Chains A and B, each alone.
Chain A
Amino acid sequence: MLTMLEEVVLLAVDEHTGDLRSAREFSTAYALVGAVFFDLALARRIDTDTEAIQIVDRSPTGNATLDSVLAGMAARPDLTTVREWIEHLFHLRADLEGEALASLTAQGILRHEKSKRLWIVDIERFPLIDNVRQRDVRQRLRETIMRDGIPDTRDIMLVSIAEPCGLLPYVLSDSQLGARRQRIQMLCNLETISRKVTAAITGLDATLRQAMARVV
């Protein structure tokens, strides 16, 4: 089974070109950190409540990315809230994406292509070799949003990460998204981690706007 981080990164791969979509770059970075927390929560290594995040089991998961983050968290007992951890791990965003892409490539789902534009600029693409996994992730997202039933908790997490990443418009039409906006917001609100990811993004947006206003 793919990790939540791998599923989100796979969803961000353009199925036609192999380009990575990053419609909202900072949001995506925060959401990737959130995806790692969800993976650790699903592996029963961490737990959260309305504010705090706790390690409940320090034993390795067997996934190098998750174990590296888990070890980092164990070494910083002074950081206790979800928001502090999301902001602290923000600098790992490129590593998280890169490690997920490397894992998806090693699993035979993506192919890594490098080329140069105008002989100078490095271009990286990740065309799909096996599109079954991406189709499955997209299908789960669609069903979780379009149906009214109680979703699987893993799919709730997937929606609440795909939404701040700006990836839902690649899965559902504008009219579907408009019609199901309340459902999407409800699903995103269910998990503490996604609420804190959204709060962190909102806080960052406000900081950037203030900085821009000072410059102007």
Chain B
Amino acid sequence: MIQATQEIRSGWCVVGVTGRADGECADALEAVLRAAVEANAKVAADFSALDYISSAGIRAVLQAARAAEGSRREFAVCSLSPPVKKVFDMSGLHHILRIHGELPC
């Protein structure tokens, strides 16, 4: 299960994601992030409370980031929790995603 919150801070739409981004929740995660991208010029996905991410979860993030790139919106992934940071580091996602240690706002 994942839970998502949204708030606007200094022009950024911050999407806070809590729980586990696995195969069962990947569609929901992608939908939440894509909806934020469609409605906002700048989106920051806050993963500080995300406990786990699987390959399906990573694909969901990539698809949302791709949608943002296609519509010339800013999309950043921020404040990765330690287990999620480990997966991102192993996958080398910093090469194609904008990743921040802290929220950009």
Where the two chains meet, the residues of A that have a C-beta atom closer than 8 Å to any C-beta of B are: 41, 44, 46-50, 54, 56-57, 149-153, 156, 186, 189-193, 195
Contact = CB atoms under 8 A, between A and B. Distances in A.
A156 B96 CA distance: 12
A144 to B, nearest CB: 11
Contacts of B97: 150
Interface stretch (B6-14, B32-40, B41-49, B63-71): B63-71
B69 A41 contact: no
A-B interface, 8 closest residue pairs, ranked by CB to CB distance from nearest: A47-B23, A56-B23, A150-B66, A153-B59, A48-B55, A49-B54, A186-B95, A47-B56
Contact of A56 (B24, B69, B91): B24
A17 to B, nearest CB: 36
Interface string B80-105: 00000011001111011100000000
B22 interface: yes
A150 B95 contact: no
Given A41-B56, A192-B91, A193-B55, 20 more contacts: A41-B55, A44-B26, A47-B54, A47-B56, A48-B55, A49-B53, A49-B55, A49-B87, A50-B86, A50-B90, A54-B23, A56-B24, A57-B23, A149-B66, A150-B65, A150-B69, A152-B63, A152-B66, A153-B63, A190-B96
B23 A190 contact: no
Given A56-B23, A152-B66, A48 B96 contact: no
A191 B24 contact: no
A46 B97 CA distance: 25
A189 B56 contact: no
A189 B91 contact: yes
- Interface size on B, as a range, is 20 to 34
B2 interface: no
B92 A190 contact: yes
Nearest to A183: B95
Contacts of B24: 56
Contacts of B90: 50, 195
B60 to A, nearest CB: 9
A25 to B, nearest CB: 27
Given A150-B96, A189-B92, A47 B66 contact: no
B92 A150 contact: no
B62 interface: yes
5 contacts: A44-B23, A57-B23, A152-B63, A190-B91, A195-B90
Contacts of B93: 190
Nearest to A153: B59
Contacts of A186: 92, 95-96
B43 to A, nearest CB: 14
Nearest to A191: B55
Contacts of B52: 49
Q: Which of A41, A49, A189, A195 has the most CB of B within 10 A?
A: A49
A170 to B, nearest CB: 25
